[in-house]
Every structure is written in structure tokens, then in C-alpha cells.
Structure 1
């Protein structure tokens, strides 16, 4: 019973609290997101990390549509080095009715859902910025483990324009090998 009462506190500490710039502007987002096209692997290039991801190496977020319409998510990473064993988390996403596919609820611990906003997506679905209205966490991801210096600099500019403190942004070390899952 005591453990159940600690679950909401755990979820808030992992995913609901962080440094927030208190920017009241709504986040930008694409006019629509083709959710099936969005599925697949996304390498985390940079982030303002939640507590579990703060020392992540080889971080990959993978999405798959479930028969019930929800999104099975698998976040894999190595903690602290390229040689560390692979860890994973398995939240379930739900595309919200409003937002044309760009607003999701991501559930790590029942019954708490974290906001997940696709704030920028390139036309080719090869790079994305996922953000939160609180401006506490952000993820810049790509379909490849590496991006050009120009693409990275443009992503940092976009993240800053959204109201984030980019001094908190962490570049995620990615090896060039394919993740072994």
C-alpha cells in the first residue's frame, strides 16, 4: 500500500518536475503529423534530460502503433558509457484528439501521463523536436545517429526560440553502430 502512494511522487520526480523557464507562449507544432509515418526509430541527438536520461549514451526512442491505436514506445540507452549494458523504458503514448497528431500523452506510470508535443518536424520526417509546455524537458531526435553541424545549430536555435534555456541542452553521445535490441 505504501508503494502505491509513492508512485505519483516517483512519476513527478522522473518526468513532471524540472527546471522550467515558465514561458506562457504555446509551443509551435506542425499543422499535422502523419502518425504512422512517424513510427520507427529516432536517435536522441540532444536533450534537456529527465532524471533517468541524464547520463544516456546511444539513446534511441522507438515507436510502434498498437492495435488499440496507442503507441508502444521503447526508449533504450546505455547509462554512462558506450560499454554499459543497454537499459530500456516502455511508456505507452496516446495521440490526443486535438493537435492533429502532434500532441501526445506519454504514460510512464499509471495513471500519470506526461505531455509530449511534436514542436517541430522536418518535411522528410528525418528530424524532430519534442517539447513540453513547461519548458523543462526537450528532445532533438533524428533517424540517424549523427546530424550535420548545420542541422544541430539550427535545432538549437529552434529550441531557444521555443523558450528553452539551451545552456541546459546535453548532446547525447551516439556511436555509429546500429543499436542492439
Structure 2
């Protein structure tokens, strides 16, 4: 196969992935991101408490997301997980995000493929920046994040209510195993 043919095939495969992804939200429900996000307070480590299943986090436990400010004004993103068990092999993905609007970022983990990016909307962050709910308008991804590996039932209920108000089917959330603290 020629280089052009191979490139066209790979391009087609990449475009097909989002179409094949399961939808977890009713897209007729308007999605609303936070009106104001203090990016300096949002930076740092977040533990993934729950997520909607996705192909890039298959068998991931102990998932963390680390956000930092880059010199170019963009946000560095490092997602880390353990494969299968909390002592399993580490898998990490490095990316970058650009702020598009308050509470709305565009994230890419493949910088040389400009079309391989995702919308990352912060739907809720509590006043002390210890709990956040994130989603994507397409409805193929969504997360409950916290600064600690476990959260209270009240925080979980609040996070799920935010997801439901943005059209998500929270029955499809999966728990993310985290180390006990």
C-alpha cells in the first residue's frame, strides 16, 4: 500500500472511532459549563472517582489527572493509570489543553493530529476546588474527579445530579478503584 493510501486508511479509522463510541448523554439537553473557572486553583492532581466507559481507559484503575500551566499559556495534561490492579503496570498519556471559554477546554493527546482533540467542559467545581464534574458535549465521555481518592456520599450525589442535569445517564457510570487513604 502506498504512503498516501496508508495515511487515508489511518485517517478514516481515526474518524470512525468517535462515531462508534457509545453516547452517555441526551444531546438534546443543553450542556452548561461553569460560568467561571479559576484555572490556577483547578491545576494540580485530581483522582478519577467515576467515569463513563471509554476505549482509552480500558482496564484502568488508580487513575489520576495532573494539570499544570505551560510557558506558552496552554495547560499540560498528564493522565496516569494502573492497568488492571493498583500495583499493575503504569500507563500515562501526556497532552495539552487550550482554554476556549470559561470552564471549556480543548484537549489533545496527539499534537501532530489537529483533528484528534476533545472538548473538556467543567460542569461543576465546588467552592474549595476539591470536587469537579467534567463532560463533553458529544456525550461520549464524562468524569467525577476529586482531590482525594475517595469522596463522601453527599459529594457523589451532588456530582451525579450535575451529570443528570446535563443529560447524562448516570446508571452507566463505572467506579474507579483508588488506593485507600
Shift of 1:7: 4.8
Shift of 1:35: 1.0
1:111 aligned partner: 114
1:1-181 correspondence runs (5 A): 1=3, 4-5=7-8, 6-7=10-11, 9-10=13-14, 13=17, 17-96=21-100, 99-100=101-102, 102-109=103-110, 110-112=113-115, 113-176=117-180
Contact conserved, 2:25 with 2:166, CA < 8 A, in 1? no
Contact conserved, 1:29 with 1:118, CA < 8 A, in 2? yes
Shift of 1:18: 2.6
If the length of structure 1 is used for normalisation, what is the TM-score?
0.87
**Distance in 2, Cα, partners of 1:36 & 1:13:** 33
Shift of 1:82: 1.3
Q: Show structure 1 runs of 5+ residues with no match.
A: none
Contact conserved, 2:65 with 2:80, CA < 8 A, in 1? yes
- Report the count of equivalent residues: 174
Q: Show structure 2 runs of 5+ residues with no match.
A: none
**Distance in 2, Cα, partners of 1:111 & 1:16:** 20
Stretch deviating more after TM superposition (144-153 or 17-26): 17-26
- Structure exhibiting the larger radius of gyration computed from Cα positions: 2
If the length of structure 2 is used for normalisation, what is the TM-score?
0.87
Aligned alpha-carbon RMSD (Å): 2.1
